[in-house]
């Protein structure tokens, strides 16, 4: 069994999504000690944004130069790493109402026609059925249906819709209201840790 562990917070050791993604990985490892874990920290090693020539090359257009060949090899490695994983755990903070641009750059690399989804006569079809994807999501405020800023929720909704497009219903561990008060922060983290401990591990 292979597990891909992704973090994308820029807040290093103080990151809540990172602490929770590590807790989730430890929970899964406790049930499957032989689990092979690959770790990728997108804040420490950011992926370059997509370029026009990269996208053209993906669709078989243009003649890649040396720099583009290197970028294509990186993109292929990222998508292969993702496809090889049985389980993917993603630490996803909410920044400015959505995912960090570092995580979006990774999403751009794994959204590859013919690999993770395909176009059919009935519309696009996800190719990742069978993969388990768990997101540990952290944010400063509250964005539930009752919240006056509910319409600014583009993180959980986006990640759920994106991975559904690829054929997977993600499991989301949410810690929110982290900047409301120290007590709320502690309560949200404790509740998220409890949820992780109760999740299916194998
Ligand atoms: C650049 C930046 C933008 C943020 N934007 C939001 C936001 O849109 N909504 C929110 O509720 N919290 C926001 N916050 C607070 C973070 O969501 C909060 O610090 C959370 O812990 C981030 O996860 P992390 O600790 O893993 O980095 C923002 C924080 C930073 C640093």
Find the angle CA(107)-CA(110)-CA(116) to the nearest 5 degrees: 125
Which pLDDT tens digit goes with each residue over 112-151?
A: 999 999 999 999 999 998 999 999 999 999 999 999 999 9
What DSSP character marks residue 130? T
Mutate to test the pocket of ligand 1, among 104, 140, 144 (most ligand atoms within 8 A of CB): 140
Q: What is the CA radius of gyration of the chain?
A: 18
Question: Ligand 1 pocket: which of 139, 178, 182 to mutate (most atoms <8 Å of CB)?
Answer: 139
- Cα 151 to Cα 71, 92, 140, 142, 157, distances in angstroms: 36, 19, 16, 11, 10
Residue 62 has pLDDT above 90, yes or no: no
Residues with CB under 6 A from ligand 1: 9, 11, 15-18, 93-97, 138-141, 178-179
């Amino acid at each position: 069994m292979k597990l891909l562990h992704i973090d994308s917070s820029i807040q290093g050791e103080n990151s809540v999504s990172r602490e929770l993604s590590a807790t989730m990985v430890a929970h899964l490892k406790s049930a499957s000690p032989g689990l092979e874990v690959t770790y990728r920290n997108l804040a420490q090693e950011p992926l370059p944004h997509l370029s026009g020539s990269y996208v053209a090359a993906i669709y078989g257009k243009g003649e890649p130069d040396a720099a583009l060949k290197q970028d294509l090899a990186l993109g292929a490695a990222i998508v292969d790493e993702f496809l090889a994983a049985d389980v993917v755990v993603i630490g996803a903070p909410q920044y400015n109402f959505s995912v960090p641009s570092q995580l979006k750059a990774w999403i751009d690399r794994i959204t590859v026609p013919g690999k993770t989804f395909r176009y059919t006569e009935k519309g696009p079809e996800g190719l990742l059925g069978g993969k388990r994807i768990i997101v540990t999501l952290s944010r400063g405020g509250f964005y539930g249906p009752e919240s006056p800023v509910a319409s600014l929720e583009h993180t959980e909704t986006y990640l759920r819709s994106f991975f559904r497009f690829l054929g997977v219903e993600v499991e989301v561990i949410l810690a929110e209201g982290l900047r409301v008060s120290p007590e709320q922060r502690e309560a949200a983290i404790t509740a998220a840790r409890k949820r992780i401990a109760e999740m299916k591990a194998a």
